[in-house]
Amino acid sequence: MRPSAALETSPPAPDRFAADVRHSLSQTPRQLPSRYFYDELGSALFEAITRLPWYRITRSEQTLLRAHARDILASAGPLTTLIELGPGSGAKLATLVSGHVQRTMTVHLIDVSGAALGEAASTLARHGALDVVTHEVEYAAGLAEMARQAPGRGPTLALFLGSNIGNFDPPEGDALLRSIRAALAEGDALLLGTDLVKPERELLLAYDDPLGVTASFNRNLLVRANRELGADFDVDAFTHRALWNAGASRVEMHLVSERRQHVRIPASCLAITFEADETIWTESSYKYRESNVRAMLERAGFRAKAEWRESSFALTLAQAR
């Protein structure tokens, strides 16, 4: 077993969360960025969500990765390098390489969550042939950093799985795919996981589950703000709401203020009065049609080469052109 190369990069400035909260809560309607869900507890709650019977993304993707690992790696060609944006626990990448990778490869993991990176790095360190490099920064910054550190690195497969792209509004999603393309060379590959449009009832059960795990995941954002920003959110006084916005093709998650209430967020220099029923929009999860996925890849400089599907979830392998 090889130790993972601990090439640590500087985490985002500690006041970044404070500034983002200040900016997003001052919007109309009020918002909080979904990337802050993933502190240690949030990452554990998301992990629990992936095991819920109503949330199929992770299971479908694991099934596809397990069943088609050999095909996926073969269509990507001989590889020296893997890059994953948002590796989570590292389980997806572990499934893909397990039993199929003999030669040593370098793996770059990019995530703003130090907790997730730590877990993913240790999961992958158990797989002999991988040298793991972590980048604790946002995706675009991590991609640029990786490209700078490893020029002429040889054939590369980038992974953007779990429909994580679904958290980005279409213009930002396009920009992100373009920064992935910019970090790659012609002929390199991208494996993109996207959740597809399905009946509304299924979508709502996935984002408002009967066990209330997703509600806890959503409200943990307030718990985090209380701890890290000295805020005084009454966590109990905000209700989880999930809705399907058909026009925009996205599931939205909101936190609804149950009554008129005042909240102070000292680190963000904010004092807010929430009206009864006023909402904080915390997440968008875009759902796609297969033709949209191919068009989105085309716009960013990729060509879709192969696709695998399982209960309304798609894995698309594309080549940088």
Give the binding site for ligand AVJ (CB under 6 A): 49, 57, 162-164, 166-167, 207, 214, 283, 285
Q: Provide, rounded to whole angstroms, the least separation between the CB of residue 217 and ligand AVJ.
A: 6
Closest CA to 171 of 16, 85, 84, 284: 284
DSSP structure class, residue 223: H
Q: Provide, rounded to whole angstroms, the least separation between the CB of residue 99 and ligand AVJ.
A: 26
CA 92 to chain centre: 13
3-state SS string for 10-54: CCCCCCHHHHHHHHHHCCCCEECCHHHHCCHHHHHHHHHHCCCCC
Tokens of 183: 């970090």
Q: Provide, rounded to whole angstroms, the least separation between the CB of residue 301 and ligand AVJ.
A: 24
Q: Provide, rounded to whole angstroms, the least separation between the CB of residue 314 and ligand AVJ.
A: 13
183/203 with CB nearer ligand AVJ: 203
203/317 with CB nearer ligand AVJ: 203
58/106 with CB nearer ligand AVJ: 58
232/252 with CB nearer ligand AVJ: 252
Closest CB to ligand AVJ: residue number: 285
111/136 with CB nearer ligand AVJ: 111
Category of 279 on φ-ψ map: left (φ > 0), alpha (ψ -120 to 50) or beta? beta
**Length in residues, the chain:** 321
As beta bridge partners, residue 262 has 273
DSSP structure class, residue 150: S
Q: Which helix (H) or strand (E) holds 81?
A: strand 81-85
284/319 with CB nearer ligand AVJ: 284
Amino acid sitting at position 74: A
Q: What residue has token string 């980038």?
A: 158
101/215 with CB nearer ligand AVJ: 215
Q: Provide, rounded to whole angstroms, the least separation between the CB of residue 1 and ligand AVJ.
A: 29
Q: Provide, rounded to whole angstroms, the least separation between the CB of residue 41 and ligand AVJ.
A: 14
Q: Provide, rounded to whole angstroms, the least separation between the CB of residue 319 and ligand AVJ.
A: 24
As beta bridge partners, residue 85 has 110
As beta bridge partners, residue 203 has none
